[in-house]
Amino acid sequence: MIKFLAPVDGSESAERAVRHLIQLARCKAPAEIYLLNVRPPIEAWEVRRFLTEEEIAQTQQGEGESDLQSARALLDEAGLPYTAQVLIGPVAQTIATFATEQGCDAIVMGTHGRGGLGNLLMGSVATKVIHLVKIPVTLVR
């Protein structure tokens, strides 16, 4: 069984990556699919001054679940089982660590997330993930 990891952030690029993953998974059945949304830690004192750790964690979880929603819908429509998770941490490193811990065989992700302009040719998270993992990474535009 091949294990795919799809890091998603709710962007159009992430949705295109999930659509591509669906095609791959149908060719490589049976496949195990992990959807992952990684939230960067909130360290701003302006936020921490007014919210408790629990409130911050609940907000992060809610935003992550919202970002997973479109990817979940695509996989549900395709009838493919998956596991979805929201984690907090440095985004690229957390993706790489999760892929290693789960024994993933490949990562399928969008080239650009919802961040700012960043790198014009390829998003900074995608670039970092490629350098951090030893498994194939398919980038979908």
Region class of 18: left (phi > 0), else alpha (psi between -120 and 50), else beta: alpha
Residue 50 sits in which domain range? Answer: 2-140
Structure confidence by residue, pLDDT tens digits, 23-43 = 999 987 689 999 999 999 998
User: Contact at 8 Å (CB) between 18 and 8?
Assistant: yes
pLDDT at 117 over 60: no
Tokens of 120: 């014009």
Tokens of 93: 């490193």
Q: Percentage of the chain with pLDDT > 90?
A: 77
Q: How many domains does the chain have?
A: 1
The residue whose two tokens read 């024994």 is: 103
Rounded CA separation 121/76 (Å): 31
- The CATH number of the domain holding residue 71 is 3.40.50.620
Structure confidence by residue, pLDDT tens digits, 98-114 = 999 999 999 999 987 65
